Amino acid sequence: MKPTAPQHRKPEDGDARRAVRPVVCYPVNSLSPPDLAQYRAARQGWRLHQRLTIAPRTAECFQLPAGWFCRIVSIEGPQVGDLNLWSATNPEERFFSGKTRALHGTHLSTGDRLWSNLPYLRPMATITEDTLDWYGFDADGGSVHDVIGTRCDPYTHRLLSGGDYHYCCHSNLTRAFARLRGVPEQQAEPFIHDVLNVFMCTGFLKDTGQYFMKASPVRPGDYLELFAEIDLIGALSACPGGDCGSEHSSDAARCHPLQVDIYQPTSPPEGWRQPERNGFVMAG
């Protein structure tokens, strides 16, 4: 733990240094915004192709072809989910939460995109509907659908508690991906990556900067809708923390299932085309 009080005296110009105005690191004005009206129009006449129920403290994989939609739905009670995404044709291309956070902010909502890792760096999916967009940022600085946390994992659990827990989201996602690929869990584990924490309400404490969680505002019927920009494999874990209002990586929290609905539209959005991988080539 860092010291609770500064170890060095503030210089005479300290207030002036603090008063410097912030600059956005990655302005996105040059990016073409998604045409949400066309995305939503493509939902007319769509067909429910598949419905998955993710039991508490487990994870499941699903296929999501380019141009299709999926909804992650709260169905019984407040529940957080951890989402991984891979390119269906190349699982080395996967969701890059860090760059997504740098481009769109700490928490995602309608119109934001989920970007893939380097060297691909292209939109994997676009958020087309979010029934929790009303929440915004609360008085604690908390908001929902974060890309600042990683995922609960057994390694951190052992580090902090000394115990072993086998139903962390990292473990659940590993088992689900291993089943899909037909490989041992040790071979699947390196593909598991930092997540979109669906429905999770999080932020940073103002005094210490520590990552916090609080009870999710999600209720049955709420959903987050994604449009697949490329052919995707998704994996969703129903977090062992339930609504993450008290703890995670525990069998004590009350947990609920989540639902994944996959929809096939009659035609893709007008003017839509799959994004190409980033054109930069590292000089040899």
Using CA atoms, how far apart are residues 218 and 81, in angstroms rounded to an integer?
11
pLDDT, the chain, mean: 96
Q: Give the full edge-to-edge strand order of the sheet including 123-130.
A: 47-54, 258-264, 69-74, 223-228, 123-130, 113-115
Q: State pLDDT tens for residues 211-237.
A: 999 999 999 999 999 999 999 999 999
Residue 248 has pLDDT above 90, yes or no: no
Q: What percent of the chain has pLDDT over 90?
A: 94
Using CA atoms, how far apart are residues 258 and 279, in angstroms rounded to an integer?
37
Residue 48 has pLDDT above 90, yes or no: yes
Closest CA to 254 of 56, 58, 75, 55: 56
Using CA atoms, how far apart are residues 175 and 185, in angstroms rounded to an integer?
6
Residue 66 has pLDDT above 90, yes or no: yes
Using CA atoms, how far apart are residues 283 and 14, in angstroms rounded to an integer?
42
Collapsing DSSP states into helix, strand and coil, what is residue 14? helix
Q: State pLDDT tens for residues 119-131.
A: 999 999 999 999 9
- Residue 283 has what pLDDT? 82
Using CA atoms, how far apart are residues 278 and 151, in angstroms rounded to an integer?
27
Collapsing DSSP states into helix, strand and coil, what is residue 201? strand
HSE, side-chain direction, 13 A CA sphere, residue 65: 9
Overall average pLDDT of the 248-277 stretch: 94
Residue 106 is classified by DSSP as S
The ranges assigned to domains in the chain are 54-72+131-218+239-266
Using CA atoms, how far apart are residues 201 and 216, in angstroms rounded to an integer?
5
Using CA atoms, how far apart are residues 65 and 50, in angstroms rounded to an integer?
12
Could you tell me the pLDDT band of residue 249, with boundaries at 50, 70 and 90?
confident
- Phi first, then psi, for residue 78 (nearest 5°) are -60, 125
Letter string b/e over residues 264-279, b meaning 16 or more CB atoms within 10 A of that residue's CB: ebeebbeebeebeeee
pTM confidence score? 0.96
User: Would you call 134 exposed, middle or buried from its count of C-beta atoms within 10 A (0-12, 13-18, 19+)?
Assistant: exposed
- Residue 52 has what pLDDT? 98
